[in-house]
Amino acid sequence: MLNTGGDNEEDERPPWHWAGFGALLIFGAWLPLAYAASLIEAPLLARFSDSSSPAAVAESIREAAPHDVARLQMAVLALFVVPLAIGAFAGGFVVGRWSRSAGPREAALAGLAATLVTCVLSWMEEGISAAPMAGVAVGLPLAALGGWLGARRRRAAGVAA
Please give the average pLDDT of every successive group of 10 residues along the chain, which has 161 residues: 51 84 96 93 81 81 87 87 95 94 94 93 85 88 96 86 59
How much is the pLDDT for 10? 57
**What pLDDT does 152 receive?**
94
Are 134 and 46 contacting, i.e. CB atoms less than 8 angstroms apart? no
In this predicted structure, what is the pLDDT of residue 84?
94
138: left (phi over 0), alpha (psi -120 to 50) or beta: alpha
How many angstroms separate the CA atoms of 106 and 104, rounded?
Answer: 6
pLDDT at 161: 59
Q: Would you state the pLDDT for residue 8?
A: 47
Q: How many other C-beta atoms can be found within 10 angstroms of the C-beta atom of residue 139? A: 30
* 3 three-state secondary structure: coil
Q: CB–CB of 55/45 below 8 Å?
A: no
Angle between helices 15-49 and 66-98 (to 10 degrees): 160
The whole-model pTM stands at 0.81
Q: pLDDT value at position 21?
A: 95
